[in-house]
Structure 1
């Protein structure tokens, strides 16, 4: 099972958003994609942040209450982003997910965003590749 790689289960479409977008743009993208968070990229497609539903809620509440313009992504995104590569082991990533907060990990190759892998992808990989598992879906 250790040879199962991120590239075999990642979502090639990352639904990334530009660092120049605002939180309304992020919320629209999150709602359309069904994801709980998305990578933020610069003009070179490098990951510079990650923004989640939770990051947006406070800002949208403040905006609605004070009738403010939605803030830019830069002000709400997390900049300490944990990324993986296409050749990262699914088992290693699953172990990391048990001790780290992120639910979604940007997949990066040669400094550019190439996809996204979520807990759902990890669950699918683990269940599909466990020959000894007595639970069959």
Structure 2
């Protein structure tokens, strides 16, 4: 199970945002990609924050109530980003997901560059693939 690494199951083409994006552009990006969250990056692909559909929804509710549509990503993004490395264990990540509750983690290289994202669904796929391989190997072994 330790051989399951984040880099083998991560999304290499994640949705990303910039700090100066407005709410309309941000919402449209979520709707088009159907991803639930993504890193906010600077001009050098360094992660400076994270924004989720939930963050946008909260701001949209406030905007409708106060008739204020001027928010930018930098106003609502989380700056304390939980991230993982490509060589991290998927099993350990699953344990973190259960304890820390984010559904999406940016995958960041040792140089600080964004490499992708990994979400709960990606972790489930990794476990499913591993379980199917284990069953297949057990059947093969039993046949001999």
TM-score of the two chains, using structure 1 as the length reference = 0.90
SS of the residue 1:115 aligns to: strand
* CA positional deviation for 1:23: 2.1
Query: Which has the larger helix fraction?
Result: 2
Quote how far apart the aligned CAs of 1:14 are: 1.3
Give the whole-Å Cα distance in 2 for the aligned partners of 1:30 and 1:116. Answer: 15
In the alignment, structure 1 residue 89 sits paired with structure 2 residue 89:
yes
What is the count of residue pairs matched by the alignment? Answer: 133
- Partner Cα distance (2:90, 2:62) in 1: 39
User: d(CA) in 2 for partners of 1:112 and 1:16?
Assistant: 13
> Is contact 2:15–2:37 with CA below 8 Å preserved after alignment?
no
Contact 1:59 1:70 in 2 (8 A): no
| 2:142 aligned partner | none
- Note if 1:52 corresponds to 2:67: no
Runs of 5+ in structure 2 lacking a partner? Answer: 137-144
1:116 matched to which residue of 2?
Answer: 117
Aligned-pair distance for 1:132?
4.4
Gaps of at least 5 residues in structure 1 are: none
1:80 alignment partner in structure 2 = 80
- Contact 1:23–1:72 under 8 Å retained in 2: yes
C-alpha displacement of 1:36? 1.3
Please name the residue that 1:24 is paired with. Answer: 24
What is aligned with 2:106? Answer: 106
Aligned-residue CA RMSD in angstroms?
Answer: 1.4
- 1:70 aligned residue: 70
Give TM-score, length-normalised by structure 2.
0.86
Larger Rg belongs to: 2
Runs of 4+ residues deviating >3 angstroms: none
